[in-house]
Structure 1
Amino acid sequence: MNELPIVVTCTDRKASPPAPHLHARTLPAAEVAERAAEWARRLRTAPGTRRLEDLYQGDQWRRALALTAAASRAGFTPRLYVASAGLGLRQVSSLAPAYAATFMPRHADSVGSSTTETGIWWDRLHRTGGSQRLPQIAEAAGQALVVLSETYAQALHHDLAALAATGADTVLIGGACDIDGIVRVPANAALRKALGGTLTSLNVRTAASWLEHCTPGRLTTEAAQARFAAWAAEAAHREHYARTPVPDETVISFIEKMTALHPGSSRTRLLRLFRDEGLACEQKRFADLYTQTMGRR
């Protein structure tokens, strides 16, 4: 059957707004283990569940779902899983309510203020029921394609190390650091022009490109790695922007103005409009200011 587990990260955008008590910011100030236990209790009693493949929204998620088609064309039987700070590791066919929780630091709904805390939180999610273990999934299939941002890879570091120890044929797209036993393809912004889309969806687009270059039915071969490396070297394009740095107040004013003019616009679209005006703002900073601005409403 040549099953290939594919792991991607969740997205901020949901098909429906979370209930107030399913925002991580509303958890009591306590030790990580205690907060995780309270979070699990809230999830168990929450109504309004839907399939995860229908819960998440946005370009990044559409591209993540498209990885299954790319994997099928490459000779695999894909099984898509989502790594979520609110739910743990689950198949996209499983059910869950809308929620707001993230590993991103300084975010209002962050579940931890350090990689140590987010690692503990991730471990606790496995004990709440419903969450699966990455090493066991990969070992059973003998292979895995894992697509993680740096922040999420840091939270899942112990799982990734345990995965490497299983000997499963594994490719990590993005991630935070190299791990012996895992083939890693670091995030490379120079490929954005060739792959298209935004930097937010760069990792999943890179994963699709890896599947296009791999030997049919085999996740990693020396020949495929050489093909991908040659393509990446040729396709790389360093982008330079002459944009004007601005203070937080200017960014906040822009967000307030544009959300009034274009209600329902995504944060990604607003950042694109902001940069189109020749203004500079790093993606994480814009996201923090967007959350801060919308939280005051």
Structure 2
Amino acid sequence: MVLSEVYAKAMHAELLALGALAAEALLIGGDEDIAGIQRVASDAGLRGALGGTLTSLNVRMAASWLQHCEDRRLTSTATSNSWHQWAASASNPERHNREPMSDEEVIAFIKRGIASSARASRTRLLRDLRDSGRACEQSRFAGLFNRTMGQK
């Protein structure tokens, strides 16, 4: 099973029942360990190695788990040891010490970015902003970008 924290909480009773069956079960993600179910907790530090967003990290962790399943058993000790050894070496927790910006500063950044490249995308500009050590939440940036583009 590949479950987000929220989904696992909603399925808590079902997960407890599954764990009580003593069946072979693997949970990637989730919100807590469940007796009788082998769990691999989400590790945001693997995002660099696995790529993508945090929203889809559990799915990419599951795909990686399958790549480490050399004996064709999802919950074997060999599979678990192989994956955990890889994960320990690949995990690199992200630390963002970005400087917050006012709406006016973000809008000025957007205008400069558009002026330097008429085809500058919202995604590219947000990446450039974050790479410069400044912070702006994605949905806030999208709103400011759309507002700025509407003023043209």
The answer to whether the aligner puts 1:280 opposite 2:135 as a matched pair is: yes
**Distance in 2 separating the partners of 1:170 and 1:292:** 43
Distance verdict in 2 for CA 1:246–1:182, change over 3 Å: farther
How many residues in Structure 1 have an aligned counterpart in Structure 2? 137
Partner of 2:52: 197
Distance verdict in 2 for CA 1:251–1:222, change over 3 Å: farther
Within 5 Å, give how 1:81-120 maps onto structure 2.
none
By how many angstroms is 1:281 displaced? 4.6
By how many angstroms is 1:164 displaced? 1.6
Partner of 2:17: 162
**Distance in 2 separating the partners of 1:154 and 1:176:** 7
Bigger Rg over Cα: 2
Partner secondary structure for residue 25 of structure 2 = strand
The answer to whether the 8 A contact 2:27-2:38 is kept is yes
Q: Deviations over 1:50-70 (max 9, x none)?
A: xxxxxxxxxxxxxxxxxxxxx
Letter in 1 for 2:21: T
**Distance in 1 separating the partners of 2:8 and 2:136:** 24
The answer to whether the 8 A contact 2:28-2:42 is kept is yes
Greater share of strand: 1
By how many angstroms is 1:156 displaced? 1.8
The percent of aligned pairs where both chains have the same amino acid is 50
**Distance in 2 separating the partners of 1:153 and 1:178:** 11
Distance verdict in 2 for CA 1:250–1:206, change over 3 Å: farther
Identify unmatched segments of 5+ residues in structure 1. Answer: 1-145
Partner of 2:4: 149
**Distance in 2 separating the partners of 1:162 and 1:277:** 49
The answer to whether the aligner puts 1:240 opposite 2:102 as a matched pair is: no
**Distance in 2 separating the partners of 1:226 and 1:271:** 38
Q: TM-score, normalised by structure 1?
A: 0.38
Partner of 2:34: 179
By how many angstroms is 1:152 displaced? 1.8
Partner secondary structure for residue 130 of structure 2 = helix
The answer to whether the 8 A contact 1:167-1:181 is kept is yes
Partner of 2:147: none
**Distance in 2 separating the partners of 1:173 and 1:251:** 40
By how many angstroms is 1:237 displaced? 1.6
Partner secondary structure for residue 169 of structure 1 = coil
Identify unmatched segments of 5+ residues in structure 2. Answer: 145-152
Partner secondary structure for residue 231 of structure 1 = helix
The answer to whether the aligner puts 1:218 opposite 2:110 as a matched pair is: no
The answer to whether the 8 A contact 2:126-2:141 is kept is no
Partner secondary structure for residue 232 of structure 1 = helix
Distance verdict in 2 for CA 1:165–1:246, change over 3 Å: farther
Partner of 1:15: none
Within 5 Å, give how 1:111-130 maps onto structure 2.
none
By how many angstroms is 1:206 displaced? 0.6
